Chains A and B, each alone.
Chain A
Amino acid sequence: MSGLLTPYKPSAAPWDEARAASFLRRTSFCPSEREIRDAVSAGFGATLENLFAKRDCRDHNELDELGSPLALRENIEALRGWWLRRLALTARPLSGRLAVFWHNHFATSHVKVRSAPMMLQQLRTIERHAFGPFEEMLIAISRDPAMIVWLDNDDNVKGRPNENYAREVFELFSLGLGAYAEHDIREGARAFTGWSQKNGRYRFNRGEHDYGSKEVLGSRGDFDGDDVVRIAIAQPACASFIATKLLREFVCPAPDTELVDAVAEQLRSSRFEIQTTLRAIFGSDMFVNAPRDTPRIKSPVEFVIGVVRSLEIDAAAQQLSEATSQMGQRLFEPPSVKGWDGHRRWLNSATMLVRLNGVTSAVKSDRFQPSRLRSEYDLTTPDAVDAWCQRVTVGPDTRIDLPPAPDDLDERMKDRLRFLLSAPEYQLA
């Protein structure tokens, strides 16, 4: 294992409240007080393993069952709210983060697909493969009906290949610009001919598939789509491409080459097992003990879900959907095949105002219950309230000058949270 991914040892730097809060903020959404306390008492090893737990909580699972009926209503707005509610309730927040991450990676929009059931099916595929080998995920996505509609693979037939899907497999899904040639796209498109869908089911149309020999990225053979995916993933550029994207999501917006190489090596050695790679990143001293100086700007989903999870607000699906959409991230409707640009693009004068207004509404809402939180976490003094507010927002280790606040503890909590959630530090992950 590379020196950059040397495992973190709690004996050298204690696993305390500050480290636990910072770790959870970066691996999941903003944690609640309960999650921080549980992480500290469970210890680092158990906390790391919990990120990859297989089972979710009852509330989440109950909600999960509603996906299918909602999709059949063809109400994408309701489905968006449902997804966000699941993110707010899940006991597996890393799984939720990864689903949004891969949704952005394989950006597919309902605006063109126009089928909520197909969009749900793609989300299910992403969730099923989010931690698994990347090859399996890319093969599954290549057969995904929503993706087939989105990138016009229905029109990709023998003799008249449509290059849209093959181009994105190389450019956006596996290799990145510059690691392939136009010839590879043309030949790759031939391999995907006949991969179509009917009524939301993948269908291989033999009559329209080109069974001839193709030359893709230096290899020659009677390739089909699965072969092209395997050939692309075997390219050296693929590991670096995926490593960079994972690091941008979880570590810093511009990872240095050394770190990318270390994670790429980890990916290759684990046969592109995402779970193994993430475990190595999250378990490293670099991640736990010495976070990078250049943090990322939280996406609207991270921001909104973070607020409701950390403040333990039971927000309605529609509210979550409206808030994230107004901040510039409409799930199931990324702006283009490239997905959302993210980071600095998330903030401008308009979206920042929406974030500030959202914070005020959340704290003033009846669904935020300061008295219950004070009682549950024994916050009986102004100092305890201040410390709690800081712990569940920017973290106890962040230096921030707090302005004067009311003496009434509930009002003080609201006032402090309004300030901290609006602070630049909270916009960063």
Chain B
Amino acid sequence: MIEVEGVSKQFQELEALKDVSLSVHKGSIYGLVGSNGAGKTTLLKLLAGIYRQNSGALTIDSQPVFENDAIKTRTAFIPDLLYFFPNFSVQDVAHFHAGIYPQWNQARFEKLRSVFNIEVKRRIKTLSKGMQRQIAFWMSLALMPDVMILDEPIDGLDPVMRQKVKNLIIQDVAEREMTVMISSHNLRDLEDICDNIGILHQGEMLIQKDLDDLKADVHKIQIAFSGDVPPTLLQDMPALYQEKRGSVLILIVRGVYEDIIRSMQSYHPAVLDILPLTLEEIFIYEMGDHGYEIKNILY
């Protein structure tokens, strides 16, 4: 659905994106993670057709995005800094969108009123920052977009509203096969909704992973032996990470779950425990492979 190939973007002397490629399948959610200044917003604004890349290709449905109103009609973009026309009420904004986007769904707009629970006659400038963001979601969802591009959208929403919004998005993804690209500087925000994660650092795509594969693939093992650790164990099973706490050895290993259990048990450990990994931990260990100190990249 969304294809980005070798895209670079320069802001005068600053190279904001360097040869970034990614691909998002229809009906999936792609999480873009990176610290401040990593290039997330730049990449999303390129996908929204606001910026023009210096090189490379960006396509949605195999069509270039820039100056393509057919694609932009099907895309909803919520930027990090929202803009509303001065003195517009919620109703006015809805009316404006209805005039611009042919697939605007008035029924859905009415229906979503119960979710957001904001008086439609209120002027947007009188609303709080979080409420303004809710308006942005409200409008974007009523557009019935095929693609949704969200730049740090959860910021400023209270936990209840966060969950509601996430649910609405997931619902659209499930029912209408909407494709979502979402950015955050925090992995934890994304781990429960994303299918894919990409990490941007200083304009470069460090790593991209399918979360299901990842979680199935990497395991954290606590293992203890009554005697010394058999030396062949680590040769058999090269660890991404190892740590010894007293007699307990903590290993992060990659492989099929059953294989690992079988192989471990062959050494007859005193204790063998397989623990769940958080997304953050997975990335920390994965990135260790790439020679990056993840603690400096993610917070």
The answer to whether A and B come from one shared complex is no
Chain B residues near A (Cβ < 8 Å)? none
